[in-house]
Amino acid sequence: MRLAPTASCARCLSKQTLTLQIRLLVSLPDHRASSTFRTRLRLFEHAPPNRHGTVLPMTRLGIVSDTHAHVAFTRQAVIAFSEQEVDEVIHCGDIGSAEIPPLFAHWPAHFVFGNVDHRTHLLEAAIAETPHHTCHGRYGQIKRDGRKIAMLHSDDQRRFDEVIHGCQFDLVCYGHTHCAKQERVGDTLVLNPGAVYRADPHTVAIVDLPQLTVTWIEL
């Protein structure tokens, strides 16, 4: 574990306390190694202090889309998110089958429906059965680390345009096109993570908050 060299708060935290947190995280099963612990540990490793010497909060989001019921490819996304130590997952639609949501059981996760998600009652049931998973229907929004985030599939072009041009969100996550892309629309970062199925290459995206830095991962 590497501490931020200039963070005064890191000096305030004793080595014994930090070591105890690491040991506690490692000793827990994967499903118990919650985002709270991962965020707390990475907070001291990566986050810069603010002007008061306090480390700013930091959340790492895993953004995925267009899994289209393909379990094997989706497992690759799950492995990537685990390696990148994400804290929370956003799925931007075209989930494809009820087999997909449980694959993300290690994290709090948010799901929206896409144009091929026809059996929504089965998807809703699968999402509801997994703790800390939320089904947002066709559109959802959350707030993390002071950032307002919207998620939708974007097949409804009118609604998509309203969301990205509405000046209400810091980050809009979408899918549907199977093309990885990020752009700025005013002050809003508009992000498509690409697709897990029918894309070359298959990709997911990692977004670090509150900085809104994006990392692309090829599967």
Query: Over the stretch 51-100, which tens digit does the pLDDT of each residue have?
Result: 445 445 599 999 999 999 999 999 999 999 999 999 999 999 999 999 99
What's the whole-model pTM score? Answer: 0.77
Say how far apart CA 123 and CA 128 lie, in whole Å.
8
β-pairing, 213-218 with 139-144?
Answer: unpaired
Residues 161 and 200 reside in one and the same domain:
yes
Residues 172 and 66 reside in one and the same domain:
yes
The fraction of the chain above a pLDDT of 90, given in percent, is 74
Q: Where are the beta strands (DSSP E) in the chain?
A: 59-64, 88-91, 109-111, 133-135, 139-144, 147-152, 171-173, 181-185, 188-192, 203-209, 213-218
Average pLDDT (26-38) is: 39
Residues 49 and 104 reside in one and the same domain:
no
Q: Are 75 and 105 in contact (CB under 8 A)?
A: no
Say how far apart CA 191 and CA 181 lie, in whole Å.
6
Say how far apart CA 40 and CA 35 lie, in whole Å.
8
Q: Among the three residues 29, 56, 83, which one is the final residue of a domain in this structure? A: 56
Domain carrying residue 111: 59-218
Q: What is the pLDDT of residue 43?
A: 38
Residues 105 and 208 reside in one and the same domain:
yes
Cα-atom radius of gyration of the chain, to the nearest Å?
18
Say how far apart CA 91 and CA 114 lie, in whole Å.
10
When divided into structural domains, the chain yields a total of 2
Query: Which CATH number goes with the domain that contains 177?
Result: 3.60.21.10
Residues 117 and 212 reside in one and the same domain:
yes
Per-residue pLDDT band for 27 (boundaries 50, 70, 90) equals: very low
- As given in the structure block, the two tokens for residue 132 are 């800390």
Rounded to the nearest 10°, the torsion over CA 10, 12, 18, 19 is 120
Mean pLDDT of the chain: 82
Q: Which of 54-68, 131-145, 174-188 has the lowest mean pLDDT?
A: 54-68
Q: Read off the pLDDT of residues 8-26 as tens digits, 9 standing for 90 and up.
A: 333 333 333 333 333 333 3
Q: What is the pLDDT of residue 128?
A: 97
Measured in degrees and rounded to the nearest 5, phi and psi for residue 152 equal: -165, 170
Q: Among the three residues 18, 33, 56, which one is the final residue of a domain in this structure? A: 56
Residues 11 and 26 reside in one and the same domain:
yes
Residues 44 and 113 reside in one and the same domain:
no
Residues 136 and 211 reside in one and the same domain:
yes
Residues 123 and 93 reside in one and the same domain:
yes
Per-residue pLDDT band for 41 (boundaries 50, 70, 90) equals: very low
Residues 89 and 39 reside in one and the same domain:
no
